Structure 1
Amino acid sequence: MTESALLALRGASFAYEDGPVVLDDLDFDVHEGRALALLGRNGSGKTTLMRLLSGGLRPRAGTLAVEGRPVAYDRKGLTRLRTTVQLVVQDPDDQLFAASVAQDVSFGPLNLGLSDAEVRARVAEALAALDITALADRPTHLLSYGQRKRTTIAGAVAMRPRVLILDEPTAGLDPDGQERLLATLDGLRATGTTVVMATHDVDLALRWADDAALLTPSGAHTGPTAVVLARTDLLQRAGLRLPWGVAAARLLRTQGLLDETAEGPRTAEDLAALAVGVAPPR
């Protein structure tokens, strides 16, 4: 944990009314420019943590700070937080409510009191970023599942957040839809958006994220993805399996086919490149 975190929870605890403690004395950082995968078993507190980071919940104890400045849970403070952090939930139908795609995406910017011209510009920018410009006038009830997912993300992107938090964004998407969404997230990262993704998919986390955070009963364990996801002790406590890329790298090293200091494959394409003696792209 460092002072330079864009978002920082310190000593955060939370319990739902009449329920057990979900998170207790948690320290958690989100660093600008780093893609972060959040992993853990069901009930580990991932959703609660995401809602704490985005201001949907307030910690019972501890603090949330943006660039070292504690968040005030009044209207002004929460507006500031929500222009910095946006959360997109797993089920798009929990967030879509307007008649058309463009109307839905415009909701957040309109609530910021922006001019009509600025709202239109933000909507156009967000639709283009998610590759759904052609759907602007489409009724939301006529969208496919993948299109609904993209629309909810566009609504968050229209707020121009510095941190975009996504709860299981690839769940329910076919392989092509997953690839398109990951390409979109890479585009958002290239323009300066820090992305946090909650997922159960350790292979996706290994492939996509710079850092991984495993939520276990003993707290959050965060570090470079390839290092954290090679910790079988932590994976067991988090209720997760070993990523295939880590297992493949161990096999290649025991067979003398991969140098101890070289990065292992993160995708099938990486493994195929190693098989023909070509270093996988990074």
Structure 2
Amino acid sequence: MIPLRVREIGYAYEDGPTVLSGLSLTIAQGRALALLGPNGSGKTTLLRLLTGGLVPNAGTVELRGEPIRHDRKGLTALRRTVQLVVQDPDDQLFSASVAQDVSFGPLNLGLEPAEVRSRVAEALTALDITALAERPVHLLSFGQRKRVAIAGAIAMRPEVLVLDEPTAGLDPAGQEALLNTLAELREAGTTVVMATHDVDLALRWADDAAVLAHGRLHTGPADDLLADTELLAAASLRPTWAHAAAAVLRAHGLLPEGGFPRTPAELAALAVRTG
């Protein structure tokens, strides 16, 4: 079953230009999808269409093969399955304490108090913020607030987790911690969609990629799509570090065709083996 799909979707903001036109995208169950493109290309708009925050002017968004209904019942069903975490956590957090904020979604589902407590504890543990449970949200660092926003989404136990630039503003340690959490969620069966400008992160993390360029959406396996330097240039994205390094290594006979190092640690390991 395909959990989420858009068909020939179009969207224009009121009194503004067309942002998306005729775009189609299939989000495969259990996969990690990176959505890339320049500022203003429509990445955030597409994420909001996927999660019911915007209604398309044309085309359809489908949940398990059925068009989304933008009424109370339809959106409730969508949000049981798909959760969006926006780029700025301050746009998403509003409760007095961390635990209260994370419990908001499950409470709105009408779950029993014991189930709500269980989900909150599980989400706080997953994001390694259990110690912050009673901390006022306004006293948290930016990175901590990001983790709380993600914990609130995880507490809903979605099949699809959609993240808009989740690593923006995080230091390297915070980015690694977040990626570890996402890896654990994927192992548990969660489908993850991430909008990002970071081509190296996308290559390292994603199974599939979708690149917005000149109003078109190009999709495919991340390894293949992110090796297309012409496509990346059209989307105002630089070539990936890994592909550039692999080209140099192959030119010197140090790397066979096929696999390539995706991180500095993998490059260092390769240097040890070939050195």
Q: Which residue of 1 aligns with 2:54?
A: 57
Alignment of 1:236 onto 2:233: yes
Equivalent residues in 2 for 1:85-234, closer than 5 Å: 85-234=82-231
Distance in 2, Cα, partners of 1:84 & 1:222: 23
CA contact (8 A) 2:127 2:181 kept: yes
Q: Which residue of 1 aligns with 2:26?
A: 29
Q: What letter is aligned with 1:152?
A: A
Q: What letter is aligned with 2:264?
A: A
Cα deviations by residue, 1:201-241 (Å, 9 ceiling, x for unpaired):
11111111111110111411111111111101110111100
Alignment of 1:258 onto 2:255: yes
Distance in 1, Cα, partners of 2:55 & 2:202: 28
Q: What letter is aligned with 1:23?
A: L
TM score, norm. by length of structure 2: 0.97
Deviation at 1:275, TM superposition (A): 1.1
Deviation at 1:274, TM superposition (A): 1.2
Distance in 2, Cα, partners of 1:89 & 1:73: 20
Match for residue 274 of structure 1 among 263, 266, 270: 270
| Aligned residue pair count | 274
Distance in 2, Cα, partners of 1:124 & 1:192: 19
Residue segments in structure 2 that go unaligned for 5+ positions in a row: none
Distance in 1, Cα, partners of 2:195 & 2:215: 19
CA contact (8 A) 1:14 1:59 kept: yes
Match for residue 6 of structure 1 among 3, 7, 22: 3
CA contact (8 A) 2:21 2:215 kept: no
CA contact (8 A) 1:226 1:246 kept: no
Structure 1 segments, 4+ long, off by >6 Å, are none
Distance in 2, Cα, partners of 1:166 & 1:257: 37
Equivalent residues in 2 for 1:40-79, closer than 5 Å: 40-79=37-76
Q: Which residue of 2 aligns with 1:82?
A: 79
Distance in 1, Cα, partners of 2:235 & 2:81: 29
SS at match of 2:135: coil
Deviation at 1:5, TM superposition (A): 2.9
SS at match of 2:87: coil
SS at match of 2:192: strand
CA contact (8 A) 2:20 2:215 kept: no
CA contact (8 A) 1:102 1:137 kept: yes
Q: Which residue of 2 aligns with 1:20?
A: 17
Cα deviations by residue, 1:104-136 (Å, 9 ceiling, x for unpaired):
001011111111111111111111111111111
Deviation at 1:277, TM superposition (A): 2.0
Identity %: 69
Distance in 2, Cα, partners of 1:259 & 1:185: 31
Q: What letter is aligned with 2:259?
A: E
Q: What letter is aligned with 1:240?
A: L
Distance in 1, Cα, partners of 2:5 & 2:252: 43
CA contact (8 A) 2:41 2:215 kept: no
